[in-house]
Chains A and B, each alone.
Chain A
Amino acid sequence: MSESDAVLVKPKDYKTGVKPIWCPGCGDFAVLSAVTKALAWKKLAKEETALLSGIGCSSRLPAYVDSYGFHGIHGRVLPLASGLKVARPELTVIAVGGDGDGYSIGGNHFMHACRRNIDMTYIVMDNRVYGMTKGQASPTTAADWNKSKLTPHGTGIPPFQPLSIALAAGAGFIARGFSGDPKQMTQLIVEAIEYPGFALIEVLSPCPTFRPEQKEWKHQVRQAEDIPLDDPVQAAQWLAADDGMSSGLIYRREHPVWQPRHDLESTLAEIEQAFSI
């Protein structure tokens, strides 16, 4: 606790006048709240912060945060965020989206963003369903979930394991939060922003409309214990044994950040010369 004569911190100041249209009971409300609290705690200037997203319910989040924002195309939030951070390294870049956007349509970008290690935060609101298109199985849906009209007998496919894949692909900051624990989520977002490199936060964010049984998550999610933290081999073993309901910072190890130099500027004539045939 630090003393200050500043006015009372109001995360509300980081909200736009646009009202969220998420379903009542959606976990994404808590993520929005945690993001604004993290920005308020960090006292990040609105013009020094950018939130970007892909497509999906959760990808509406940048519209509700008073900072730079970009609502991109499906699965492409990480290329957008990467380009922005490379061009404007002084910005705090936060990419957000859902499990379908990030792990399926954008799955390839996800792996390469992990290994490229550009300094940004990626928050994935995982509800294990495509909510915006009315409830189809997503990459993280359990193989036997049979409530969708498209997969009445379940998908029969083992769910994608984003944290294990992120670790294998070289991510240095891997965490899991839960919308039912906004204090922990806020702390994870702050730590992810401060981490020098690509930081992944998977947030268990229930969909009350198409996965109403996820309301039980509040009784199932628990604080992760005996976390290896900086040993990738032990972290892989730990993740393989985890049931996906442990929350907390699971792995943190710093790697060289990829950031191209900006002193290699050329004149227009030199660029034209380089492209001449």
Chain B
Amino acid sequence: MTMPPDQSLAEFIVHAHALKCESEEQMEMCAASLRAHNNPEAADAFHLLSQMVGQAIQDIEAMATGLQLPQVAPWDFHWHLIDDTTCTDEAHYLMNERNVLELAQRNEQRAIKYFQQVVEVATDQTVRELAKRLHDHEQRFSQYIEQRLKQLEGDVDHHADLDPANIPE
């Protein structure tokens, strides 16, 4: 992800909001899909993460109050690939909580990197301040995931599917 240094606060809020909304939506879709596939453990993990992202969205929306927001076409956001924003293609019906958290951690690291970059290059002081706040939020989120992962050591890898759907006879 790259961003122009002269981005205004309103532009940055729109980007940050879209980034978090995308993340929340992806996690909710994964949660629903895994629940439908009788995997409540992974579904609950995705749902919990989604709720945590939702708190960040509320925070951003509160900051947007009273601002004249630009409309950015979905294809004009500064991130360029699915890896920047999404997780649904990495989901698997046998994934466990560890797999969910590892996936979420990869997303968090990308988000931290993005907000860190904004802190470093933005010329607008208010943008830097908001980016720092969001960066710190992501750091706390990442630390929570890390702590939870340590409690789950020993879980098996979901790719060990002993009954795959397509076995030619």
- B-binding residues in A (CB < 8 A): 1-6, 8-12, 19-27, 29-30, 32-34, 37-38, 40-41, 134-135, 146-149, 152, 179-184, 186-187, 190, 206, 208-210, 212, 215, 218
Contact = CB atoms under 8 A, between A and B. Distances in A.
Interface stretch (B63-71, B116-124, B126-134, B139-147): B63-71
A29 B166 contact: no
Contacts of B95: 24
Contacts of A190: 73
B89 A180 contact: yes
Contacts of B92: 24-25, 208
Given A9-B71, A24-B91, A27-B89, A148 B64 contact: no
B49 interface: no
Number of chain B interface residues as a range: 35 or more
A30 B68 contact: no
A4 B11 CA distance: 12
A66 to B, nearest CB: 14
Contacts of A212: 166
Nearest to B158: A24
B154 interface: no
5 contacts: A6-B71, A19-B36, A24-B92, A30-B89, A215-B89
A2 B70 contact: yes
B123 to A, nearest CB: 18
A186 B72 CA distance: 13
A24 B95 CA distance: 9
A147 B25 contact: no
Given A24-B93, A179-B89, A209-B165, A10 B21 contact: yes
A33 B93 contact: no
Contacts of B30: 24
Contacts, number: 132
Given A2-B71, A190-B73, A208-B92, 4 more contacts: A11-B21, A29-B88, A183-B74, A208-B89
Interface in B74-107: 74-77, 79-82, 85-86, 88-93, 95
What are the 5 closest A-B residue pairs judged by CB atoms, nearest first?
A24-B91, A19-B32, A187-B75, A21-B36, A29-B88
B113 interface: no
Nearest to A18: B32
B33 A20 contact: yes
Nearest to B42: A24
B21 A3 contact: no
A76 B164 CA distance: 32
A1 B71 contact: yes
Interface string B143-169: 000000000000000000000011011
B17 interface: yes
B118 to A, nearest CB: 17
Contacts of B32: 19-21
Most chain A beta-carbon contacts within 10 A, residue among B30, B76, B88, B92 = B88
A5 B33 contact: no
A229 to B, nearest CB: 18
A37 B74 contact: yes
Given A30-B82, A182-B86, A210 B70 contact: no
B168 A152 contact: yes
B21 A180 contact: no
Contact of A206 (B34, B74, B89): B89
Contacts of B90: 25
A18 to B, nearest CB: 9
Contacts of B36: 19-21
Contact of B75 (A30, A148, A184): A184
Contacts of B137: none
B25 A12 contact: yes
